[in-house]
Structures are given as structure tokens and as C-alpha cells.
Amino acid sequence: MISRFVVRRIIQGFLVIFCLSIISFAIINVAPGDPATALYGDLADRLTTEERNRINENYGADKPLTERYIKWVKGVARGNLGVSYVEGREVTTILKEKIPNTLKLVSWTISLILVCSLLLGLKAGFNENSFWDKFVSGMSVFFYSIPSFWLALIFIILFSVGNKNISGSGGTFSNLKYYIMPVSVLVIAHAGAYARFIQEKVKEEVNSHYVIAAKANGMDDRKIMKGIVKNALVPFINYLGITIPSFFGGSVVIETVFSWPGLGMLNVKAANSKDYPLLMGAIFMTGILVVISIMITDILQLVVNPSLRKQV
Amino acid sequence: MKKNKRYLIWVILLCIIVLSSVFAPFISKYNPVEVKLGNVLQRPGAGHIMGTDAMGRDVFSRVLYGGRVSLSVGFISVIISTIIGIIYGGISGYSGGKIDNFMMRILDIFLAVPTLIIMLALQTIIRGGIVSIILVIGCTAWIPTARIVRSQFIELRDKNFVKSAVVMSTPLWKIIIKHMLLNSMPAIIVIATLTCAQSIFMEVSMSFLGIGVPPGTPSWGNMLNNAQNDIMTGAWWVAVFPGITIVISMLCINFIGEHLKKKVTYV
């Protein structure tokens, strides 16, 4: 049953998030540095031991690791991720401000990548040895080799320096023009690999026995194409699910370049300022977002692929 | 035949890049870390082929010396990640059954986490130092290798020559190393090549974010990090030249990987 499959996936997702929280909590808490250092930076050395202890006690950083983890988990269950060392605000409030921005960026990017890669990949796959076929094969490796943040710098040089119309970064994000640069950089950097994947799958299907048999029986070309596309989509959705984590990872760099106030930039800022509750919360949220998007692709796969439906 | 030649071009290009960073002192007469404030942001010209950066350092020699750091981080961390991947994937693939299932579940968990973010967390602990960044990249990039090794081992375990070796009571280490590992070597080399490109990419991204190689050391990522401010004043060369070098070396490694992949059809 599909519902049972979904429930199992959700349980698995929880397990992933649980493990992620343990790993990142352990990593972060082994790290040197305490709230006092985070708050005062280099000036922390001037604090007396008493002051230092008082600050650390305030943030509960003097307790043993397991106790802190249990406290953290209890807090999470109540929707409380702790207080940021540096900003002094609740981590949840900070996250609430940043998450929508990242979601907007990622969803725009993914939908545009889907459109571009499907168009290019199908065109290339169905016309073997044509110009498009060679174009996609060659260009995908080429674009795959370009670091997206360097492309972003080049875009800033070309369009942003001296030209204020297409801003690289800005304060308000209501305007669509702020999306143009980051989204197009991400799409250019990633669309090639996806197009390549679709192209290879379609080529495999075109040369497979069932297509030849269908053609020999005089089946309508359009119907054959429809079948091929459907069959090629199954591994493609799977591939999308596998690569989604790298999207959230990749957006870290892009957000930093364009000073996009999202989750990725928050991660970097928290790591650089040793603001551990914030870093922990940001990693945790990123993990949840990734798990949710993997789940969506899993369910999509189930919708597209009837043979998978029989298995579950 | 024509395809073969095209792949040679990439090998030669990569050799040029590697050799020129190894022999950097003989190629560039400028010191990559020497600050000359009278010589700030010079355009590319006769004196400085790629211009100078905001601290008057020669971009060309920084690209060469940066290659030493970036490439060696990539190459050494790929060795680490390949070894970890072979051990993990080998155990998982050879033992099969419940152990295999359990180990693959753990991999799924690792796969669900954006690597860059785990690196961010890890790098806060062992901050600084090229050694630590090599370790961090090596310890996070092994998952694809482990998967490939596992699938190879599972495939080979059912082959008749392995079965007959077991029947003839060949020592276990001999079966694993001589029969399984040597036969999966082509696939491992392919994935190692692609991971190598990925590792260089990681180093560059992390240094770009300011959490990688220490700021003083020239590396391709660090140069781009510094370039972020300079390009606003119109100094395009500080960003363009290191970037082109990165792209070319990534292209070389990726195309060589693609070529090897085509040769090893069963990957």
C-alpha cells in the first residue's frame, strides 16, 4: 500500500534527522571555543575567569555533553532551538526569517533546471548524433567543471559592476530582478549534468528491444515517444532525489556571493563566528529540508513508476 | 582513433598545469606572498602577465603557487577517501546480508546530508592548516567510492573464479586482494578520478567561503575569496585568471575520467 510506504519513508526520514543531530551535535561540541569567545571574539582573552564562567553558565555550556544533548532534544520537541550566542535572539526566530529566502531560491532554481534539462535532454536523446546530442554531451562536462561561485563572480563583473539595473545583491527581496543572477548562475552550473542524464537514459530506451518491436509493429511514433519519456523519467527522478542535498550545499556558496539572506549564508556566518546553537539549528533545518525533498521525490517516483507501486 | 587523441590533449594540459605549479619558482620571478603597496591592482601587462592584486602581489605567480596547494589537497585527499571507500565498500560488499544492509543504511544517512555543511561543522573544530582540510575532504568524499566498490565486490563474489578460489581454500586475504580488489581496480580508478575533481572543487569552495586553507597561503579558492572585493572596483583580472585555471584543470580531470569511464564499460 502506498500509505504504508509513505509511513515507512517518514520513519526513515526521522532516523536520518536523528542521526544527523547526534553527529553534528557531537562535532560542534568537541570544537574549541565557548559562548564567551563567540560573544567577545578576540577580546575574550581579557575576561576574568569568573566572568567567563558566568557567561558560560548562563548558556549552559558547563554541563556534560550528553546532558546538553538531551536538553537540546527536549527543546526541539517543544520547538525551541536555543538562543544564539552572538545575536542573543531565539534561533527559531532567526531561522524563520531565513528559510523562506532559501526555499524561494531553491524552488526557482529546481523548476528552471527541470525545464531546461528536460527540453535539452529529450531533444538530444531523441536525435542521436545530431548537433544537440553532441552539444549536450560536450557542454555538460564543460559546465560541470565550472565552479558556480566563480561564474557568479564573472556575472557580477559583467552585469553588476557599474550597472545598477541587475543588482547582484540587495536589501529587499520582493523584486524579481534580485533572482535573475543567482538563479541563472545555479541553472547554468547544474542544468548540463541533468540534461546529460536524461539524454543518456532516452538513448538507452530508444535502442532497447521493446521500442524496436513497437516500431516494427507500426505503432504510432508519438505513443512510443510517450512511453520512452515515461521510462526515462523514473531514473531521472531518482537522480534528482540523490542530488538534492548538493543543491542545499551549493546554495551555501551562491548565497554568500550574492549576500542572499538565506539558510546557507547563515550556516557560514554561524560557523565563522563559532555561534554553535545557531549553527546547530541551521544544520538541523537544512537536514529536515533535504529529507522532505527526498521524500517528495520518492513519492513522485511511486506515482510515475507502476512497477515500484507493486513492490510496496 | 580521433577520440583517443582528443583525450591526450587533456592529459597534456593537466601535465602542464601540474608541472608548472611544481616548478613555480623557475617560471615566475615574483614572490607570491611579497606585498608591494606601490604596485597595487596593476592591469595585466608586460611586467605582470596576469596583473597584480589589491596587495600588489603578482597574480600569475600566485596562480602557480596556489596550484601547488589546491592540486595537492585534491590529490592527497582523494587517496584518503579512496582507501576509506575501498575498506567500507569492501567489507559491505564481501559480507553481504544483514551487515551489508546495515552499512548501506548508514551510507543513505550520510548521503542525505549536504557534504559542504558537514565540512563547515568539521572545519570549525580543526580550523586552519592544510593537513586538516585534506583530512576533512578525504573523510567526507568517500561515499561514491564505497558504493562502487561494494557493487563490484557483490558482482565479483558470484563469479566462478572467486567461487573456485574459495573451494580451493585460498587464504581470505588473497581472494580479497588478488581476485576482488585487482579486478575492481579499473572501476575504482574511474571513480577516484571523478572524486579528485570533486575534491579540488571542495577545497576551492571552502577556501572561497573563508573556512579552508589559511588566508595567508595562496590557493585558488583563497585568491577568489580575496577577489570578491576587488572586482567591485573593476579589477576583473584577479578573479578571471585563477578561475580559468580552476576550470581548465577541472575540465582536464573530468574529461580524463569520462574517457576512462567509456573504456571501463561496466561502471
| Single pTM value for the model | 0.81
* A216-223 average pLDDT score: 87
Residue of A nearest to B144 (CA): A242
Chain-wide mean pLDDT for chain A? 80
Q: Is the pLDDT of residue A155 over 90?
A: no
Backbone angles phi, psi at B52, to 5 degrees: -125, 160
pLDDT band at A68 (very low <50, low <70, confident <90, very high): confident
pLDDT top residue among B47 and B244: B244
Query: Are residues A202 and A164 in contact, defined by beta-carbon separation less than 8 angstroms?
Result: no
Backbone angles phi, psi at A228, to 5 degrees: -60, -45
Strand partners, B24: none
Instruction: Kindly determine whether residue A149 and residue B112, on different chains, have CB atoms separated by under 8 Å.
Output: no
pLDDT top residue among A149 and B108: A149
pLDDT band at B141 (very low <50, low <70, confident <90, very high): confident
Say if domain A91-311 classifies as CATH 3.40.50.2300. no
Cβ count within 10 A of residue B172: 11
What's the pLDDT score for residue A32? 62
- Residue A165: DSSP 8-state: S
What's the pLDDT score for residue A42? 64
Share of chain B above pLDDT 90, in %: 9
What's the pLDDT score for residue A222? 87
pLDDT digits (tens, 9 = 90+) for A41-50: 666 666 777 7
- Which of A8, A140, A145, A279 best tests the B interface by mutation, with the highest count of B CBs <10 A? A145
Instruction: Kindly determine whether residue A286 and residue B117, on different chains, have CB atoms separated by under 8 Å.
Output: yes
- CB contact burial A130-148 (16+ within 10 A = b; e otherwise): eebbeebbebbbebbbbbb
Query: Whose grid coordinates read 572543487?
Result: B201
What residue spans define the domains of chain A? Answer: 91-311
- Residue A160: DSSP 8-state: I
Q: Is the pLDDT of residue A150 over 50?
A: yes
* B85-89 average pLDDT score: 92
Query: Are residues A43 and A251 in contact, defined by beta-carbon separation less than 8 angstroms?
Result: no
pLDDT band at A76 (very low <50, low <70, confident <90, very high): confident
3-class DSSP state for residue A30?
A: helix
Torsion of CA A255, A258, A261, A262, to 10 degrees: -20
Query: Whose grid coordinates read 582523494?
Result: B78
What's the pLDDT score for residue B262? 80
What's the pLDDT score for residue B124? 66
Instruction: Kindly determine whether residue A150 and residue B112, on different chains, have CB atoms separated by under 8 Å.
Output: no
What's the pLDDT score for residue B85? 93
Query: Whose grid coordinates read 506515482?
Result: A303
What's the pLDDT score for residue A207? 86
| Closest approach of B209 to chain A, Cα-based (Å) | 7
What grid cell was written down for A200? Answer: 543518456
* B96-101 average pLDDT score: 84
| Closest approach of A220 to chain B, Cα-based (Å) | 33
What is the maximal distance between C-alpha atoms in chain B?
Answer: 77
- Residue A99 CA to residue A91 CA, distance in Å, equals 12
What's the pLDDT score for residue B1? 44
Non-local (6+) Cβ contacts of B195 within 8 A are B78, B81, B82, B141, B144, B145
Tell me which of A81-85, A194-198, A223-227, B78-82 is least confident.
A81-85
Q: Is the pLDDT of residue A18 over 50?
A: yes
pLDDT band at A172 (very low <50, low <70, confident <90, very high): very low
* B13-35 average pLDDT score: 82
Q: Is the pLDDT of residue A265 over 60?
A: yes
What grid cell was written down for B224? Answer: 577568489
Chain-wide mean pLDDT for chain B? 82
What's the pLDDT score for residue A34? 64
| Closest approach of B58 to chain A, Cα-based (Å) | 20
- Residue A91 CA to residue A97 CA, distance in Å, equals 10
| ipTM given for this complex | 0.79
What grid cell was written down for B35? Answer: 606585498
Dihedral sign (CA A274, A275, A281, A285): negative
pLDDT digits (tens, 9 = 90+) for B38-59: 777 777 776 777 777 777 778 8
Share of chain B above pLDDT 70, in %: 91
User: Please, which residues 171-210 of chain A have a Cβ atom closer than 8 Å to chain B?
Assistant: none
What's the pLDDT score for residue A31? 64
* A236-255 average pLDDT score: 82
Backbone angles phi, psi at B161, to 5 degrees: -65, -30
Q: Is the pLDDT of residue B61 over 70?
A: yes
pLDDT digits (tens, 9 = 90+) for A120-139: 888 888 888 888 888 888 88
Query: Whose grid coordinates read 512497477?
Result: A307
Query: Are residues B90 and B176 in contact, defined by beta-carbon separation less than 8 angstroms?
Result: yes
Query: Are residues A72 and A25 in contact, defined by beta-carbon separation less than 8 angstroms?
Result: yes
Q: Is the pLDDT of residue A176 over 70?
A: no
- Which of A29, A106, A149, A246 best tests the B interface by mutation, with the highest count of B CBs <10 A? A149
What grid cell was written down for A186? Answer: 545555479
A120, with CB counted inside 10 A (0-12, 13-18, 19+), is: buried
Q: From chain A, pick out residues whose CB is under 8 angstroms from the CB of B247.
A: 145-147, 150
